[in-house]
Structure 1
Amino acid sequence: MILNIDVHLAYQLSQPTDLLLQIEAADLDDQTLLDSQIDFFDVPDFTRVPADEALGNRIWLKADGLFRCTYSARVQIARSAPDVRTLEAVPLHLLPGDTVRYLMPSRYCPSDEFQTFVAAEFGHLRGGAQIAAIRDWIYGAFSYVPGVSNAQTTALDSFVQRQGICRDFAHVLVTLARAATIPARFASVYAPGVTPPDFHAVAEVYLDGGWHLVDATGMSPAETIARIGVGADAASVAFLNIFGQADFVAQSVSVRAE
């Protein structure tokens, strides 16, 4: 599958402001960047730096006034997507060192507060079967409602409200997976079929010796997803961090499958 991605961002800045941008699809073994172009208007220079886990890049830049950015890319997805229910959990003492941080609570994913719930609801299952049951429970119990959450909403908030957007669904899945002692991280992605069209968020879980994409919203099968970046939660993979004041002007994200 080939994805055609087009993004437009516009923000009004009142003074010279540092920005950290992460919107470029990563070039990986299971997704090949065929073509890409990113353009900034009235930005003299910018610097790319590796993102978390060296998966993709971030861009540092300084802008003033009207900040505008356009990004377009063609990405070929060549990812096998096994049924997550068939995957085995890796014993904790055999986990690679770089996965251990994804067992721990993080800003938006207080997994230590959900261990009793997970043991009671999903403790009869193991590994991928447990992840599939958690995914299906979130899909059935939560409503996808834009506008009910914000940048401060945690997985605990979403768990209580039983509603949110992709970011919230991903945070809850990551949180419950960690509470089940399965490493899980937050992935910022592009995917077709997202309604309304926007940047998308899913979880990645570590099973059978590898990372596997899981979307609790049900909108994006793993074989249709292009990763942008990964991190402990949304705080690590924001598409734009603004180190100052800014007013939103416009944003559009289009992802079309060939």
Structure 2
Amino acid sequence: MRLAIDVHLDYAFPEPADVLLQVEAAALPDQRMDSESLVIHSDHPIRAVTGEDGIGQRCWAHAEQRLVADYHAIVSVERRSIDLKALGATPVRELPPEVIRYLLPSRYCESDRFEHFVRRQFTGLSGGALGAALVDWVRGALEYSSAATERGGGALTTFAERRGVCRDYAHLLVALARAAEIPARCVAVYAPGVQPADFHAVAELWLAGEWHLVDATGMSDASDMVRVAVGRDATDIAFMTIFGTAQLFAQSVTVRRL
């Protein structure tokens, strides 16, 4: 699968501010960068830093009055969809050290508050069968609603309101998986067919010794996602973190199959 990615960001800043951008597709064994260009219109130097878990990179920029960024890439995705139900469980005591933190609660994934629910709702399941059941439950329980972006909140809020956007689906799935002793992390991706077209958030579950991409919204498939960043929750994978205030002028994300 080859995908063309085009991103345009245009923000105004009433006062100078530092900005951390995370929009570049990550170069990984299952996604090859055929071409790539990031242009940030700024009078100040840009500094790149490595992303979480060594995946992708972030860029520091300093904005005065206006910040415009354009990103273009063509990526070949070499990844097949996997049937989660066929994957076995990994005892937590055998997890690699770098994976352990994805078992623990984080700001927007309050997994410790879901342990009782998971034990009662998914009795008798383990490993990939449990992971698949969690994905199905989140997809069936939630209603996709852009109005949910106005109130923010984490997995607990989404669980109570039963609605959200892609970030909320990912937070809830990750929280439930961690409560079920399946390491899980949030992932920023580009994917075709996402509605509305935008930066997209999904989850990755650690099963059978590997990370596996899953989209609880059902809008994208592991075979046509391009990873940008990974992390504990939305805090780590935000496409833009502004250390100050900003006003949106224009923003567009387009992902096309070639």
- Structure 2 length as normaliser, TM-score? 0.98
1:35·1:75 contact (CA, 8 Å) conserved in 2? yes
Q: 1:151 to 1:224 in 2, by over 3 A?
A: farther
Matches within 5 A, 1:11-26: 11-26=11-26
Deviations 1:53-82 (A, max 9, x none): 000000011011121111000000001322
Matches within 5 A, 1:41-80: 41-80=41-80
Matches within 5 A, 1:72-221: 72-150=72-150, 152-221=152-221
Q: 1:23 to 1:171 in 2, by over 3 A?
A: same
Q: In structure 2, what residue type is equivalent to 1:15? A: E
CA distance in 2, matches of 1:19, 1:242: 5
Question: What's the % identity of the aligned pairs?
Answer: 48
1:43·1:61 contact (CA, 8 Å) conserved in 2? no
CA distance in 2, matches of 1:2, 1:43: 34
2:215·2:221 contact (CA, 8 Å) conserved in 1? yes
Deviations 1:98-132 (A, max 9, x none): 00000000000000000000000112211111111
Alignment gaps of 5+ in structure 2? none
Give the superposition deviation at 1:36.
0.6
Q: In structure 2, what residue type is equivalent to 1:25? A: A
CA distance in 1, matches of 2:202, 2:148: 18
Aligned twin of 2:253: 253
CA distance in 1, matches of 2:123, 2:235: 29
> Secondary structure at the residue paired with 1:99?
helix
Q: In structure 2, what residue type is equivalent to 1:43? A: D
- Between the two proteins, the alignment pairs up a number of residues equal to 258
CA distance in 1, matches of 2:151, 2:48: 25
Deviations 1:188-218 (A, max 9, x none): 0000010010000000010000000011000
Q: Which 4+ stretches in 1 moved above 6 angstroms?
A: none
Q: 1:88 to 1:121 in 2, by over 3 A?
A: same
Q: 1:204 to 1:151 in 2, by over 3 A?
A: farther
2:42·2:62 contact (CA, 8 Å) conserved in 1? no
Q: 1:97 to 1:150 in 2, by over 3 A?
A: farther
CA distance in 2, matches of 1:151, 1:129: 33
CA distance in 1, matches of 2:10, 2:181: 41
Deviations 1:12-69 (A, max 9, x none): 1012210000000000000001101111223332010001000000001101112111
Give the superposition deviation at 1:146.
0.8
Q: In structure 1, what residue type is equivalent to 2:253? A: V
1:100·1:183 contact (CA, 8 Å) conserved in 2? yes
Alignment gaps of 5+ in structure 1? none
- Structure 1 length as normaliser, TM-score? 0.98
Q: In structure 2, what residue type is equivalent to 1:44? A: H
CA distance in 2, matches of 1:50, 1:151: 31
